[in-house]
Structure 1
Amino acid sequence: MLKMVTIECIRKARFREGKSIRRIAKELGVSRQSVRKAIAGEVQRAYTLSQGRPCSVMDPYRSLISEWLKCDDDAPGKQRHTARRIYQRLADDYGFTGAESTVRAFVAKLRGSKPEVFIPLTADPGEVAEVDWGKVWATIGGERRQVRLFVMRQRFSGVCFARVYPFEKLEAFLDAHMHAFRWLGGVPRTIRYDNLKAAVVKILLGPEREENTRFMALRAHCLFDSIFCAPGKGNEKGAVENGVGYVRRNALVPVPDVALIDEMNESLLTWCERDRGRRSQLWDAERATLLSLPERDFKCSATHLLKVNRLSLVNFERNRYSVPTEYAHSKVRLEAYVDRIEILHKDQLIATHPRQLGRGKDEFLLDHYLDEMQKKKRSVLHASVVRALSPVHSEFLRRLNERGPVEYRKFAEILLLHRQFANSVVEQALARAMELGKYEVSEVHQLALSISGFPCAGKVEVPPQLAAMEISSPDLAAYDSLVGGIVR
């Protein structure tokens, strides 16, 4: 085949210099037929193989590998042969001596796979939003942690809402939606999801899904529709797939270093506002088409039915939360929010605790155990909830024990002051009592009253109608007649 530089020389020699075909062929050392083709302007075609080159290393195994790949059609998707696995089997069982890269290239030709083709998607204003989760790293309170990034992106305008949570659980999923709707000032008519566990309990045939009842309640409350991607087809919501990376690269670089996760969310919200401002023209068109916000907030919690143990504790996610001792051995309903735990008995709220992350942590409230401590006063010596109090409490109890073997009983009564006064007031009262050497319940109570500024009776204003009344002094001699006129 002629090179392009030779073709150029032939055409210039013919058309510029007027040389004959014979002379050109002789000077350039090519055939006259090739010269004629170059003069005729035939474009040189790329060289293609009429048939594949033989592969002496792989050809003996062609039928075997083809059989393996055919059997894979009936195998589970995650248990099919990869090129690496084929290489391993050939080397271990059939004495194959070629390279793994040779096997990879050979398998790729046998499969004849082609990249999937995608179709551009669009949407009308307010028609659809897309939701997805991502993972990001942040330093929170001095600890490097991986947190979950929730992103809701409007398909038409590209406006993003982003918020981070410590987990991807149902309560975070619900809470993120309500924050997004409030920030958007409305609700998209349709939201597209992949098959995340917070929304989908089970994937059924085709587009059908068995959905989480709490997610269905959110949808009924806010009146939006939901559609789900086909399994493994996250590209069907490509806008938010790209949106997660967009937020990660633009709002979370460098790695955030914050004291609390709320501080990180405030920073994200500021970034979302700036990004929305850049899309103001499209956003104005979309905002006008959103559904109205519901009048009432949705309860963003996950419900769990549990039983209180004999220690008046409820076990949840391997952490323990206290309830009043009167509910020991009872069945209760626990509402798990992102930031707190609420425990109810027959629809009556009986305990609220901050939610603990991790495992093996206890959340005790002293008030839950005070009534039982009055019956079992010796328990104050070793009760976990008492030992979790301040060092001042511990020191006061120690001094009581030094004064006598049963003095701890007073401490059980002193603890009741926590129902009347703030913890800080009781702590100051105990510290002051130790300075003064006062260890009686009434003395500590009096000190707490003084510290708390308990209101004293001031000057009483006398009504005018009473101020005008005159009351004569009584004649005390009249009492003598009661005893026979004898004054002793």
Structure 2
Amino acid sequence: MLTMTQINYIRNLYFNEGKTKTEISRITKLDIKTVRKYIEKQDFNLEISKPHNFGISILDPFKEIIDKWIEDDKIMRKKQRHTATKIYDRLRNEYLYNGSYRTVADYFKTRKKDIWNQSASAIPLQHKMGEMQVDFGAIQFWSKSELINGFSLNVTFPFSNAGYLQIFRGENQQCLFEGLINIFKYINGIPKKIWFDNMSTAVKKILKGGERELTDEFSRFKNHFNFDAVFCNPASGNEKGSVENKVGYLRRNLLVPAPVVDNIKQFNEALLELCYQDLNRAHYIKGDLILELHKLDKENLLSIPNTEFDPALIKILKADKCGRFTLEGKFRYSSAPKFAGENLRLKIGATEVTVLDSNLNEIVIHERLYGDLPKDVINWLPYLTQLSRHPRAIKYSGIYELFPCKITEQLKNLSEEKEKQIFKFMAEVTEDKGFEKALEIIDECLEKDISSLDNMKMYLKSKLDNYPKVESLKISNNPLIMKELSPNIGIYDALLKNLGEVN
């Protein structure tokens, strides 16, 4: 299987330099079938693997030693620095390394490029119809009564000065991919050339001579949509000045005052419409309407591939004893108690984290967490449903660690059957009204010693229906009042007598 770098080279020769498949086969010394496979390939989605055993490289214990030797070479004369052969010989003689020379040479080559990083050379700036520039900018918006520090993904077409905007909680790879895909679909095409700065989501490192080593994920994205990625020189924002200016313009005109965003995906759809309406104004230099100039951009776009691209990041993580897992070292998510200690497959998108089991079945979908402080998010339904069926598993599940202390103490004093009833009721209320409402009702029921399922349901119904309270009848002991309330039986005698006379 070829590396992404090799695939990029083959596709560049064919699509950008006009080489034939036969010529590419001769240049790369690859079989013509292999060349044809990667030229005609349209789907660069990453497949989610089933569980398998991951091997450990024999070189792993020696990598820190090699890194130190390469780092120490920075102060040495060029002719006295390590070569791959010298490192291999030292490892064998000094550390009894018994692996292959090729393993050492491949690692040395990669690490030396990382440690001896060089600045890129200049890239000429030239824009044509249909070319696009990309950049992130800092923004704020309201969500659930909280002011969020977020980011805007901005694109502009320098030829027409048309610009589009998408907002996200972060500026990670999934936000970049999802935002660009949304824009590609909206304009119904792919720019042939897209300009980026050296964002870490796309560039792994800058090589000598101005070449970039791209991340595998960005290479898959680029190859799937078949555009040519161009990167600016470091600290040279003027090379993509069009989008630099557009970041501020779109923020001032579309995001002031700070908008209220209940659903980011829906808001982004509306933003694209607002951006399109903004094109109905004159170009600041050319005088023509931006909308008309943008039509020329669109005439020079590539077609959108038939195969959808999934921008999600795929990860495999082990769940803790409560079935939870942690991302980015500070955000903890739930799965279900039965997956405690097992490997979970995660699809991490810009706004959602989807949890899959070993058969790739969906367990739960969470809103993706962002921010500087640690946070937890729990979908309670899988926990409560599981425990209502298997109450004996409660004390082994770790579920009590996730409840408020007051409720935990009350539950521990109940019988197994009552616990089962309560968890079943809690699962039903959580699915219908949410976990916070379920906790509120359970707390009140426990305080009133209500623990049977039917009685809890009746109590909930009375709460939701807002039954009016009936005031109790107050009887006075005052004999005068009691006397006034005494019935006059003679009235009934008279009625009965009259009734008899009629008959």
- Report the TM-score range of the alignment, normalised by the length of the smaller protein: 0.5 to 0.7
What one-letter code is carried by the residue in structure 1 that aligns with 2:414?
A: V
Contact 1:170 1:198 survives alignment (8 Å): yes
What one-letter code is carried by the residue in structure 1 that aligns with 2:391?
A: Q
What one-letter code is carried by the residue in structure 1 that aligns with 2:228?
A: D
Deviations 1:395-433 (A, max 9, x none): 9x95x88xxx43364123442356667434995997998
Cα distance in 1, alignment partners of residues 460 and 298 from structure 2: 57
Aligned mate of 1:288, from 286, 295, 299: 299
Aligned to 1:274: 277
Matched, 1:383 2:400: yes
**How is 1:43-442 mapped onto 2 (pairs within 5 angstroms)?**
121-123=126-128, 125-126=129-130, 128-252=131-255, 254-260=256-262, 262=264, 265=268, 268-278=271-281, 279-317=290-328, 318-346=330-358, 347-358=360-371, 359-370=373-384, 371=386, 374-377=391-394, 383-387=400-404, 405-407=413-415, 409-417=417-425, 422-424=431-433, 439-441=451-453
Contact 1:365 1:385 survives alignment (8 Å): no
Deviations 1:224-282 (A, max 9, x none): 22111122222222221222232234333x44242547386466434312222332211
Residues 441/235 of structure 1: CA separation in 2 closer, same or farther (3 Å cut): same
> Any unmatched runs of 5+ in structure 1?
1-117, 452-488
Specify the structure having the higher radius of gyration (Cα): 1
Which TM-score applies when normalising by structure 1? 0.57
Q: Secondary structure at the match of 1:369?
A: helix
Cα distance in 2, alignment partners of residues 378 and 134 from structure 1: 49
Contact 2:421 2:451 survives alignment (8 Å): no
**How is 1:442-453 mapped onto 2 (pairs within 5 angstroms)?**
none
Cα distance in 2, alignment partners of residues 276 and 136 from structure 1: 22
Cα distance in 2, alignment partners of residues 119 and 376 from structure 1: 66
- TM-align CA RMSD: 4.1
Deviations 1:333-354 (A, max 9, x none): 2222122111223333333212
Deviations 1:459-486 (A, max 9, x none): xxxxxxxxxxxxxxxxxxxxxxxxxxxx
Contact 1:194 1:229 survives alignment (8 Å): yes
Residues 148/376 of structure 1: CA separation in 2 closer, same or farther (3 Å cut): same
Aligned to 1:6: none
Contact 1:380 1:386 survives alignment (8 Å): no
Number of equivalenced pairs: 326
Residues 436/248 of structure 1: CA separation in 2 closer, same or farther (3 Å cut): closer
State the shift of 1:186 in Å: 1.2
- With a CA cutoff of 8 Å and minimum separation of 6, indicate the structure with the bigger relative contact order: 2
State the shift of 1:171 in Å: 0.9
Contact 2:426 2:442 survives alignment (8 Å): no
Cα distance in 2, alignment partners of residues 380 and 192 from structure 1: 51
Range 260-269 or range 206-215, more displaced: 260-269
Cα distance in 2, alignment partners of residues 120 and 219 from structure 1: 20
> Any unmatched runs of 5+ in structure 2?
1-122, 282-289, 464-503
State the shift of 1:197 in Å: 0.8
Residues 130/410 of structure 1: CA separation in 2 closer, same or farther (3 Å cut): same
State the shift of 1:199 in Å: 0.6
Cα distance in 2, alignment partners of residues 367 and 447 from structure 1: 21
Deviations 1:59-91 (A, max 9, x none): xxxxxxxxxxxxxxxxxxxxxxxxxxxxxxxxx
Aligned to 2:17: none
Range 351-360 or range 134-143, more displaced: 134-143
What one-letter code is carried by the residue in structure 2 that aligns with 1:192?
A: W
Residues 259/242 of structure 1: CA separation in 2 closer, same or farther (3 Å cut): closer
Q: Secondary structure at the match of 2:332?
A: strand
State the shift of 1:160 in Å: 0.6
State the shift of 1:211 in Å: 0.9
